[in-house]
């Protein structure tokens, strides 16, 4: 499994701590440094079963600068959102764990991390 983290994020640190405590085999991706491509974001969205606006941190300064709250949330706007996430990775909700079974979870809670571990 892989976990996308921002080391400055307390939820990310908690998720990594739980993975370590459980002896999980995982890879860390510091997604602000190793920015996901648009295709990687599409893949994670498919694995999550979510749309790009569902994993967008709309309170970030970049989101406000882009006016994301006013962007349409429909199939025709999907690529625009994905491009914004790739160009501004701070907008991506974190942490995200891609599980070994091909699924993924936004691991902001201990329950979500445990869910990923059980897959």
Contacts of 72 (CB under 8 A, 6+ apart): none
CA 48, chain centre distance (Å): 9
Task: Pick the catalytic residue from 9, 14, 24, 35.
Answer: 9
Residue 12 annotated in active site = no
Burial of 31: CB neighbours in 10 Å, binned 0-12, 13-18, 19+: buried
The residues pairing with 5 across neighbouring beta strands, listed in sequence order, are: 30
- Spatial neighbors of 113 by CB under 8 A, at least 6 apart, are 15, 18, 19, 97, 105, 107
Active site residues per annotation: 9
């Amino acid at each position: 499994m892989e976990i996308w983290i921002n080391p400055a994020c307390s939820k990310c640190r908690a998720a990594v701590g739980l993975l370590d405590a459980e002896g999980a085999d995982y890879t860390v991706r510091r997604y602000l440094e190793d920015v996901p491509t648009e295709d990687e974001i599409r893949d994670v969205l498919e694995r999550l079963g979510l749309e790009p606006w569902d994993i967008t941190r709309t309170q970030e300064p970049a989101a406000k600068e882009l006016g994301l709250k006013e962007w349409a949330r429909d199939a025709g706007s999907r690529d625009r959102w994905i491009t914004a996430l790739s160009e501004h990775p701070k907008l991506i909700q974190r942490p995200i764990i891609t599980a070994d079974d091909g699924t993924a979870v936004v691991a902001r809670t201990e329950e979500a991390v445990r869910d990923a571990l059980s897959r």
